[in-house]
Amino acid sequence: MKRIANIQEAPIILFTLLVIVLFSSLSSGFFQADNAKLILDQNITSLIVAIGMTMVILLGGMDLSVGSVLALTATAVGVFLNHGMHPWIAALLGVCIGVLCGAVNGYFIAIRKIPDIIVTLATMYIFRGIAVGISGGTWMTNFPNGFRYFGQGELLGLSFPLIVAIVLIAFFIYLMKFTRSGRRIYAIGGNGSAAKLAGISVARTKFTVYVWSGMLVGIAAVIFASKVGSVQASTAGSNLSFEVMAAVLIGGGSIFGGVGTVAGTMIGVLFMGIIKNGLIITKISPFWVDATTGFLIILAIIINTLQRIRQNKRKEGDLL
Amino acid sequence: MKKVALMVLTGVMALSLAACGSTSTNNASSADSGSSGSRTYFINPKSIGPAYWAAAQKGAEQAASDLNVKVVYNAPTEADSSKQINMIQDMLTRKVDGIGVSPNDAKAVGPIFKKALGQNVKIVTWDSDAPDSDRQYYVAPDTDKAVGELLAKTIGDEIGGNGKVAFMVAGLGSENQIAKSDAAKAYFEANYPDIEVVTTVSSDDDQQKAYANAQNLIKTYPDLRGIIGFAGGEPPAAAEVVEQAIKDGTLKQGQIAITGIAVPSVVKNYIKNGTIKTDIIWDPGKLAYATVYVLDQLAQGKEITDGMDIPTVGTVKVDGQNVFIGTLQVTQDNVDSFGF
Amino acid sequence: MNVLKIGLSFKQNKLQVQLLLLLFILVLFSIISPYFLSVTNFMNVFNQMVEVGLIAIPMTMIIISGAMDLSVGSILGFSAVCMGIAFQQGLNIWVSVFVALLAGLLCGAVNGYLIARHRMQAIVVTIGMLVMLRGLVYVLNEGRPISGYPDSFYFLGQQYIAGIPFNVIFLVVVFLLANFVMKRTRFSTYVYGIGNNEEAVHYSGVSVVRTRFILFLLSGLFSAMAGVFLVSRLASAEATSGTNIELDVLTATLIGGTHIFGGRGSLSGTFVGLLIIVFLRNGLNLLGVSVLYQAVILGALLLIAVGNKQFNRGLSK
């Protein structure tokens, strides 16, 4: 029992369960297999983007540009498709554009050593501008049927995007837990100068993480475009960065870096998704939806902090 | 030294971009740039980016070249009234001859319109009105009330006047959305008492949120019969979700009727598939064209009269200070005939 | 190179770049637009920057102390709507203004209580507040704008005194006051100290909690003030007012040379940063440059203005 309470994610898991029980008692439609599927389906984009954001936050950075990268990639894919390009090639090129955006972020952050938030705030403006520019102000829509597979197709009885997400999550959990590059990220986030002294190339790791993050946003963008069926460059993903950042931090991450797990983040994303879905299913007044969402976010973070204080007290005495 | 180089670089960039911007407006304004400096109008949509406003821009530029005037078409990237008013203020400094504004907040434009009037600048609102202001005319397809009622009537007829209907709006605080949905609700109460409006969900202009909203609606109300989308992004999201649900077998074909306001090119496939039977729209290009035309008439001191003929737009109805160009109904039969 | 030297050169050089940039923008637009260089245009620009400017003051302090407040836009909207509702309920307009300021203070207090007292991460708490307060705005007035204030109230946002808008005079006075506080008082030492080395400040017997709390309280108060001025300028309190204003504020602060990791920065820098973005926007508007290109230019400027040598110390912090 004590061991369970010591798992970093324990409080947020408990809180999520509590919210689920609450919604289930309010509406019979909530606690059902197909609603669970719906929630997963609605949050695939956020889940994938959040993996990258977790790594970035672990390094002590943050990425405000994910929404704009999403818009740029999705728009570009739309442009390719409307020019009659094969869906698979268009999707692949889309992911490449995501990687490129990530590399641009990584270049300024890791090599030019400009703080993360400044670079990503700047690229947030720039990528969004480019996205709307190449869209010509119109919507990307009327995608060919072949393209729909990425967002709506099925493989072995499971939805294709869900499989993609699960594979990515599994891969990155493995990467972060068991490989040297994963541990490097924790090392740098935990104590940058110590990591440097230990011979870890901070710049290289940072650059790689931003490229990973860009790639993940690229994949998410393809799924997004295929699933939603239309892309508006000026607004696509406009709230994504804040939402995903909140999910990482709810899932136990620390904005100062070094703390957090991919699994925790995934719970954070699902927590937010459950709230959004549950508030509509329980037929709460539409005017209350945002207010309640914000309140629950704050509550989740309070619970998280209490846990951390409890742990710290045991370890380091009363300093914090 | 490096800093100086950076500065120069910024400058060059800003200049070249500025040049891009101004040449594009020049090209748009007229082939004969010599005389185009005579009259300049600022046409201000709610925001820049959505397809609807992009289509309107084409109309405004068309009018500029037809009437041999200069048109600046610009707005903030988000529908925010304080940024919009800052921009109008900047354009008044530029001494334009007239402004055509689609206000994000009808009350907030009051002071700036007063100021514009003091500078003898002609003011026309378009697409959305500011009734208690100093604006001279309001150019619209029809009143918000009439559009809302038309939407309600469409869905009421389609589902036989009985069942649950949900509203999807772009913003809970947006005035034209409130006016249209209130009118639709009132129409149901008066004419289809058996129709129940179950809820109103808002997407905040976010396409993914609109999509998730539609999914949740279908889940929450299994006996839902109709969805009205009051802004350009809502009907396609609803239609996409319904088509997917039909494919998955969770919904029967034709169980949920969808209508709304959407640009034909965006909903073309859904109309062809029969997911949307009727879509209400007007040509945003013609709306912008009419706006420029009315401004130009005012600037030349000419009268605006009922039944007057605006080139490419056609005959318009003038009711007091309102200029109506009329709405269009997009159906399977005519969906390919629209160029926007 | 030793740290002290960099710190010094930073102080001297940093603002020079910003001032040069500002000068460059002013000259550039004066040449290419015939409408740019005029008293009325300048007064317009100043008039437009008041809300962002007011919020930028506490934001600069908070960033110097090593935190961030993303909820300012929602606090602005929340207090504006609170004022509108108080007025609709028949309260005197100045009492309603007081209600708005109280609402802002309350929001700031909640932020401060959670962040300072309970050591929660500022970014998440304020994101939560951002969502929640914006939601509460819709709960309060169902999204309908509130207008119809008495003429005396419009004095705040629309009147000119000796050719200068009243709200601009107010902003400048507040800026000077705040600048004095941040240069000459012990409070500023604490703020810079917390940004540089929180533990050291803690051990020297200064209450970190109280300083932090005061900062967030200020942020709430100033956001509410910005809300009041915005309502007075636009004659209407709407549910969407202040959306995304935090990005403008952040951009101005960062262009002004405040270090995002805290410990360094100045209000004068923020003021110059503010002038740079408002004049840039105004000039590009006058030229009729589409806002899409404006966003790209702003982004590039941010990278160029801030992205020079001072950050090369990177992780050795």
Q: By residue range, what is the domain housing residue B34?
A: 2-140+283-326
**What are C213's two structure tokens?**
């709390």
Q: Look at C100 and B318; give whichever has higher pLDDT.
A: C100
By C-alpha distance, the chain A residue nearest B263 is A139
* Pair B116, B197 in one domain: no
Question: Is B216–A38 a contact, with Cβ atoms under 8 angstroms apart?
Answer: yes
Q: How many domains does chain B have?
A: 2
* Pair B217, B255 in one domain: yes
Residue B248's pLDDT band (boundaries 50, 70, 90)?
confident
Quick check: B132 and B167 in contact, CB under 8 A?
A: no
* Pair B271, B289 in one domain: no
pLDDT digits (tens, 9 = 90+) for C50-63: 999 999 999 999 99
pLDDT above 90 coverage of chain B, percent: 18
Residue A93's pLDDT band (boundaries 50, 70, 90)?
very high
Residue A253's pLDDT band (boundaries 50, 70, 90)?
confident
Residue bearing tokens 């403008």: C248
* Pair B123, B224 in one domain: no
pLDDT digits (tens, 9 = 90+) for B283-303: 888 899 999 999 998 988 888
* Pair B170, B292 in one domain: no
Pairing of the two strands B309-310 and B279-281: unpaired
Question: Is the residue at B337 inside a domain?
Answer: no
Chain B residues 73-112 within an 8 A CB cutoff of chain C? 74-82, 85-87, 89-91, 93-95, 104-108, 110-111
Instruction: Assign residue A250 a region (left: φ > 0; alpha: ψ between -120 and 50; beta: otherwise).
Output: alpha
Mean pLDDT of the residues in chain A: 85
Question: Is the residue at B339 inside a domain?
Answer: no
Size of interface A-B (CB pairs under 8 A): 106
Question: Is the residue at B197 inside a domain?
Answer: yes
pLDDT above 70 coverage of chain A, percent: 93
Question: What CA–CA distance (Å, rounded) separates B100 from B138?
Answer: 9
* Pair B81, B163 in one domain: no
Q: Above 70 in pLDDT, residue B14?
A: no
For residue C317, the model assigns a pLDDT of 35
Query: 3-class DSSP state for residue B164?
Result: strand
Q: Look at C223 and B27; give whichever has higher pLDDT.
A: C223
Residue B44's pLDDT band (boundaries 50, 70, 90)?
very high
Question: Is A230–B266 a contact, with Cβ atoms under 8 angstroms apart?
Answer: yes
**Averaged pLDDT for residues B1-20:** 51
Query: What pTM was computed for the model?
Result: 0.83
* Cβ–Cβ contact C30 with B under 8 A: no
What is the rounded end-to-end Cα distance, in angstroms, of chain B? 51
For residue A27, the model assigns a pLDDT of 83
Domain boundary among B228, B247, B281: B281
Lowest mean pLDDT among A195-199, A264-268, B258-262, C4-8: C4-8
* Cβ–Cβ contact C240 with B under 8 A: yes
* Pair B55, B129 in one domain: yes
Domain boundary among B281, B302, B334: B281
pLDDT digits (tens, 9 = 90+) for A9-29: 778 888 899 999 998 998 888
Residue B25's pLDDT band (boundaries 50, 70, 90)?
very low
Question: Is the residue at B267 inside a domain?
Answer: yes
Question: Is the residue at B332 inside a domain?
Answer: no
Question: Is the residue at B180 inside a domain?
Answer: yes
Longest dimension (CA), chain B: 76
The runs of H, that is alpha helices, within B172-233 are: 175-191, 207-220
For residue C293, the model assigns a pLDDT of 81
Question: Is C235–B108 a contact, with Cβ atoms under 8 angstroms apart?
Answer: yes
In 10 A of CB B65, how many CB atoms? 16
Chain B residues 252-291 within an 8 A CB cutoff of chain A? 263, 265-266, 268-269
* Pair B229, B307 in one domain: no
Lowest mean pLDDT among B167-171, C176-180, C268-272: B167-171
Q: Look at A38 and A9; give whichever has higher pLDDT.
A: A38
Residues in chain A whose beta carbon is closer than 8 A to a beta carbon of chain B?
27, 29, 34-35, 38, 41-42, 45, 128, 132, 136-139, 141-142, 152, 224, 227-239, 276-277, 280-281, 283, 286-287
To test the contact with chain C by mutation, choose from A242, A279, A303, A307 the residue with the greatest count of C C-beta atoms within 10 A, namely A242
* Pair B15, B79 in one domain: yes
Pairing of the two strands B309-310 and A154-155: unpaired
For residue A7, the model assigns a pLDDT of 65
Residue A208's pLDDT band (boundaries 50, 70, 90)?
very high
Question: Is the residue at B127 inside a domain?
Answer: yes
Q: Look at C239 and A3; give whichever has higher pLDDT.
A: C239
Question: Is B49–A45 a contact, with Cβ atoms under 8 angstroms apart?
Answer: no
* Cβ–Cβ contact C139 with B under 8 A: no
Question: Is the residue at B340 inside a domain?
Answer: no
Q: Above 90 in pLDDT, residue C21?
A: no
The full 3-state SS of C206-260, as one line of letters, equals CCHHHHHHHHHHHHHHHHHHHHHHHHHHHCEECCCCCCCHHHHHHHHHHHCCCCC
pLDDT digits (tens, 9 = 90+) for C65-119: 988 899 999 999 999 999 999 999 989 999 999 999 999 999 999 999 999 888 8
* Pair B103, B210 in one domain: no
Report which listed range, B54-58, C111-115, C313-317, is most confident: C111-115
For residue C15, the model assigns a pLDDT of 74
* Pair B111, B150 in one domain: no
* Pair B287, B235 in one domain: no
Q: Above 90 in pLDDT, residue A69?
A: yes
CATH number of the domain to which B128 belongs = 3.40.50.2300
The runs of H, that is alpha helices, within B30-95 are: 51-67, 81-93
Report which listed range, B72-81, B178-187, B329-338, is most confident: B178-187
For residue B41, the model assigns a pLDDT of 92
Domain boundary among B228, B255, B281: B281
**Averaged pLDDT for residues B30-48:** 67
Question: What CA–CA distance (Å, rounded) separates B144 from A259?
Answer: 53
Instruction: Pick C120's closest partner by Cβ from A287, A292, A305.
Output: A305
